[in-house]
């Protein structure tokens, strides 16, 4: 299954743009640019790494829409997102019935 090209992160729709050389040029596998509703990813990510990285960037997008971005600096944000993303992904994968129930489908 291919990764999504668009994600709705209430109230915005974010584009997911895979750019060759992104990791090499920036030192990051991906970045969330909330002001532009854009997530840029290196296209060489795949499987678990791609899923975890995209969820990581989604958490940054969510963070930007809360008051957390006003009371915590970028270093704290990164530490929290870095810690939560793999555990949240693991939880969602291990509990598909919960996910179905949660989204009401």
* DSSP-based three-state secondary structure for 28: coil
| Residue 61 placed within a domain | yes
| Residue 39 placed within a domain | yes
**Mean pLDDT rounded to a whole number for the chain:** 95
Determine the Cα–Cα distance for residues 53 and 41; give it in Å rounded to an integer: 8
CATH number at residue 52: 1.10.10
Tell me the mean pLDDT in the region 21-32: 95
Q: What domain range is 56 assigned to? A: 6-103
| Residue 71 placed within a domain | yes
- φ/ψ of 14, rounded to 5, equals -95, 140
* DSSP-based three-state secondary structure for 30: strand
- Number of domains, the chain: 1
pLDDT at 58: 98
User: Model pTM?
Assistant: 0.93
Beta strands in 1-105 (DSSP E): 6-9, 12-18, 30-33, 38-41
pLDDT at 1: 82
């Amino acid at each position: 299954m291919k990764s999504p090209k668009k994600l709705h992160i209430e109230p915005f729709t974010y584009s997911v743009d895979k750019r060759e050389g992104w990791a090499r040029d920036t030192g990051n596998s991906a970045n969330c640019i909330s002001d532009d509703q854009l997530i840029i990813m290196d296209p060489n990510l795949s499987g678990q790494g791609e899923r975890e990285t995209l969820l990581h960037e989604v958490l940054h997008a969510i963070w930007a829409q809360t008051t957390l971005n006003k009371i915590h600096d970028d270093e704290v944000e990164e530490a929290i997102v870095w810690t939560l993303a793999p555990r949240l992904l693991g939880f969602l994968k291990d509990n598909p019935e919960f996910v179905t129930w949660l989204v009401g489908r």
